[in-house]
Amino acid sequence: DTGVSQNPRHKITKRGQNVTFRCDPISEHNRLYWYRQTLGQGPEFLTYFQNEAQLEKSRLLSDRFSAERPKGSFSTLEIQRTEQGDSAMYLCASSPRDRGDTQYFGPGTRLTVL
Amino acid sequence: RKEVEQDPGPFNVPEGATVAFNCTYSNSASQSFFWYRQDCRKEPKLLMSVYSSGNEDGRFTAQLNRASQYISLLIRDSKLSDSATYLCVWYSGGGADGLTFGKGTHLIIQP
């Protein structure tokens, strides 16, 4: 399967714990995006990488959230001191060079904070 | 005003009927528009791009009206497999801010 992959697919954690998600984009795509989707809402943009550089961050990305893409390939999204309001589906997408409008989404990581 | 507004539905439509959705957007600088389809607990998938000249793909037709700032999706001869949430999406260009999604319109095709 050469699509976008995300791990884990599901994560249940207790409030206050740290969690980390991983995204592996389509191999030739240099752009990588993170989105968050809550029930009844469309996905909301969180942050964007071009290669290893993080070029854009939404105001939704509080100080407890950090994303990295150290070698310009896979990316991680870490949430520190999780809160119940962090419960959501976290989606990763990638796009080819110069085609930010053509994004392919991974299956998402569903986070439940108890 | 929200950036992208859609009627959340649900739209309950008998199989074989024609159904249409509209979506309004507020950013006149929006560059590209799309309809995405999302099945329950799955990731969104691109259904089709939307052009001012209209775009048809089989039973699906999408239209963009820049003057009135809305896009539409028409589904003819609806199938049970068309049941899903349809997300209206725009992209401003340059890679910044990612895609902007509406809340989605939930469609249920009934046998």
DSSP codes, B41-90: TS--EEEEEE-TT-EEETTEEEEEETTTTEEEEEE-S--GGG-EEEEEEE
| Structure-block tokens of residue A69 | 């893409």
Q: What confidence tier does B34 reach under pLDDT thresholds 50, 70, 90?
A: very high
If you search the block for the tokens 């986070």, which residue do you land on? Answer: A111
Cβ distance B6 to B100 under 8 Å?
Answer: no
Q: What confidence tier does A20 reach under pLDDT thresholds 50, 70, 90?
A: very high
Residue of chain A minimizing CA distance to B38: A42
Cα three-residue angle A44-A9-B4, rounded to 5 degrees: 15
Whether residue B97 has pLDDT greater than 80: no
Whether residue A99 has pLDDT greater than 90: no
Residues of A in contact with B104 (CB under 8 A): 42
Q: What pLDDT score does A43 carry?
A: 95
Residues of B in contact with A55 (CB under 8 A): 95-96
Residues A36-92: tens digit of each pLDDT: 999 999 999 999 999 999 988 888 888 999 999 998 899 999 999 999 999 999 999
Whether residue B94 has pLDDT greater than 90: no
Cα three-residue angle A93-A10-B95, rounded to 5 degrees: 15
CB A55 to CB B103 under 8 A? no
Is B8 touching A (CB cutoff 8 A)?
yes
Residue of chain B minimizing CA distance to A108: B43
**Residue A98: helix, strand or coil by DSSP?**
coil
Write the DSSP symbol of residue A85.
G
CB A101 to CB B34 under 8 A? yes
Whether residue B82 has pLDDT greater than 70: yes
Q: Between A73 and B52, name the one with better pLDDT.
A: A73
Is B40 touching A (CB cutoff 8 A)?
no
Q: What confidence tier does B91 reach under pLDDT thresholds 50, 70, 90?
A: confident
Is B66 touching A (CB cutoff 8 A)?
no
Q: What pLDDT score does B83 carry?
A: 97
Least confident span in A104-113, B11-20, B38-47, B97-106: B97-106
Residues of A in contact with B96 (CB under 8 A): 48, 55-56
- Mean pLDDT, chain B, whole residue set: 89
Q: What pLDDT score does B66 carry?
A: 86
Tell me how far apart the alpha carbons of residues A106 and B44 are, in angstroms, rounded to a whole number: 9
Tell me how far apart the alpha carbons of residues A85 and A73 are, in angstroms, rounded to a whole number: 29
Q: Which residue type does A71 have?
A: K
Torsion angle defined by CA atoms of residues A106, A9, B86 and B7, in that order, rounded to the nearest 10 degrees: -130
Is B34 touching A (CB cutoff 8 A)?
yes
Q: What confidence tier does A97 reach under pLDDT thresholds 50, 70, 90?
A: confident
Q: Between B90 and B31, name the one with better pLDDT.
A: B90
